[in-house]
């Protein structure tokens, strides 16, 4: 499912309980997270719907490199010829998407959380067991990243993975006006219903920038 303008210039693609985002900035587009392999067709449709040729895609940024965020990254890299950026602490799992240390034993998850079975089934159907690792990537540094569409600030938030990051528009960015409460979600935009993570705590944003922050699970 594709939803335009979940915030100003930010569009969401959902597939198998996993989210990815397009960030438009002038004639450039950044893809935030790569979902699962089945998201490829929806990505093409989403770009078409916002009138963006693949040539407008300048970067792919991964909030972290779990397999449900890595799905089409290698394909985007090869088909579009754009760099994939990931924090260096997630470089290993970006290369080997099934070798990370799991927070909890995966085989027990459906037993402990039976309501997750449909989620796991949908993710498997969307290619969760067929994600290709990256052979090449660029490391994502923390701090201002004005080379990326949206002029974000990258914040390292290790925990879910060692290289987990969130990105938020720089507060000094005047290219876009700050969203009003009615126009923007008043919490972090989470990027998946990853089965091994707890939902984010809901709380009001402390600043207009925070309300457009991309985190993930
Ligand atoms: Zn994850």
- 3-class SS of residue 94: helix
For residue 207, the CA-to-ligand 1 centroid distance in Å is 26
Rounded to 5°, the CA angle 73-89-138 comes to 45
pTM comes to 0.78
Among 17-21, 59-63, 102-106, which stretch is predicted with the lowest mean pLDDT?
A: 102-106
Where are the extended beta strands (E) located within the chain?
2-7, 10-15, 18-25, 28-32, 57-61, 84-86, 138-139, 143-144, 152-156, 165-169
For residue 206, the CA-to-ligand 1 centroid distance in Å is 25
For residue 65, the CA-to-ligand 1 centroid distance in Å is 7
Q: Is the pLDDT of residue 182 over 50?
A: no
Is 217 among the domain residues?
no
CATH number at residue 123: 3.60.15.10
Q: How many distinct structural domains can be found in the chain?
A: 1
Is 39 among the domain residues?
yes
Q: What is d(CA 95, CA 134) in angstroms, rounded to the nearest whole number?
A: 5
DSSP state letters, 38-92: THHHHHHHHHHHTT--GGGEEEEE-S---HHHHTTHHHHHHHH---EEE-GGGHH
Compute CA 187 distance to the chain's CA centroid, rounded to the nearest angstrom.
Answer: 15
Is 185 among the domain residues?
yes
Are the C-beta atoms of residues 189 and 63 closer than 8 Å to each other? no
Is 40 among the domain residues?
yes
Are the C-beta atoms of residues 177 and 193 closer than 8 Å to each other? no
For residue 14, the CA-to-ligand 1 centroid distance in Å is 15
Is 206 among the domain residues?
yes
Task: Write out pLDDT tens, residues 140-164.
Answer: 999 999 999 999 999 999 999 999 9
Is 95 among the domain residues?
yes
Is 49 among the domain residues?
yes
Confidence at 113, pLDDT banded by 50, 70, 90: confident
Instruction: Count Cα neighbours of 29 within 13 Å in the Cβ-side half-sphere.
Output: 25
- Domain extent at residue 129: 2-212
Task: Write out pLDDT tens, residues 3-46.
Answer: 999 999 999 999 999 999 999 999 999 999 999 999 999 999 99
> Residue 212's pLDDT is what?
52
Average pLDDT, the chain: 81
Per the model's pLDDT, the better-predicted residue between 139 and 179 turns out to be 139
Average pLDDT over residues 78-83: 95
For residue 96, CA distances in Å to 10, 93, 133, 165 come to 30, 5, 5, 19
> Which one, of 47, 28, 45, lies nearest residue 148 by Cα?
28
Cα pseudo-dihedral 149, 65, 154, 138, rounded to 10 = -70
Per the model's pLDDT, the better-predicted residue between 195 and 159 turns out to be 159
Among 64-78, 143-157, 176-190, 200-214, which stretch is predicted with the lowest mean pLDDT?
A: 176-190
For residue 69, the CA-to-ligand 1 centroid distance in Å is 7
Is 119 among the domain residues?
yes
Average pLDDT over residues 89-96: 95
């Amino acid at each position: 499912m594709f939803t335009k303008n979940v915030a100003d210039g930010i569009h969401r693609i959902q597939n198998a309980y996993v989210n990815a985002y397009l960030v438009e900035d002038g004639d450039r587009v950044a893809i935030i997270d790569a979902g699962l392999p089945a998201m490829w067709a929806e990505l093409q449709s989403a770009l078409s719907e916002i009138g963006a040729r693949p040539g407008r895609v300048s970067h792919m940024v991964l909030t972290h490199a779990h397999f449900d965020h890595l799905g089409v990254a290698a394909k985007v890299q090869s088909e579009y010829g754009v760099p994939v950026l990931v924090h260096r602490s997630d470089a290993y799992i970006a290369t080997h998407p099934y070798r990370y240390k799991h927070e909890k034993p995966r085989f027990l998850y459906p037993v402990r959380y039976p309501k997750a079975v449909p989620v796991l089934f949908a993710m498997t159907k969307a290619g969760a067991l067929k994600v290709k690792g990256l052979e090449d990537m660029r490391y994502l540094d923390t701090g201002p990243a004005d080379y990326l569409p949206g002029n974000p600030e990258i914040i390292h938030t290790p925990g879910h993975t060692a290289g987990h990051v969130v990105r938020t528009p720089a507060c000094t960015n005047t290219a876009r006006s700050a969203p009003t409460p009615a126009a923007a979600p008043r919490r972090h935009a989470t990027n998946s219903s990853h089965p091994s993570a707890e939902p984010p705590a809901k709380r009001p944003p402390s600043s207009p920038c925070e309300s457009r922050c991309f985190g993930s699970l």
